[in-house]
Amino acid sequence: MSDLPDIESLQNNFSDLNDGNDKVAYLIELGAKLPFFPAELQDDAHIVRGCASRIWMDHAWENGRLHLQLTGDALIVKGLLTILFVAYRDKTPSEILERDPKTILQQLGLAHELSANRQNGFSAVARQIQSVAQFQTKGFHP
Q: What is the pLDDT of residue 140?
A: 66
List, for residues 45-88, the tens digit of each pLDDT value. 999 998 889 999 999 999 999 999 999 999 999 999 999 999 99
pTM: 0.93
**CA-based nearest residue to 90, from 110, 116, 113, 68:** 68
Q: What is the pLDDT of residue 12?
A: 95
What percent of the chain is modeled with pLDDT above 70? 96
Q: Is 20 a catalytic residue?
A: no
From the list 27, 51, 108, 129, the catalytic residue is 51
- In what helix (H) or strand (E) does residue 79 lie, and over which residues does it extend? helix 75-88
Q: What is the pLDDT of residue 18?
A: 86
List, for residues 17-31, the tens digit of each pLDDT value. 988 899 999 999 999
For 59, phi and psi rounded to 5 degrees?
Answer: -150, 160
What pLDDT band is residue 9 in, cutting at 50, 70 and 90?
very high
What pLDDT band is residue 3 in, cutting at 50, 70 and 90?
confident
**Rounded to whole angstroms, how far apart are CA atoms 94 and 39?**
30
* CA distances, 74 to each of 7, 46, 135 (Å): 22, 17, 29
List, for residues 126-142, the tens digit of each pLDDT value. 999 999 999 998 876 55
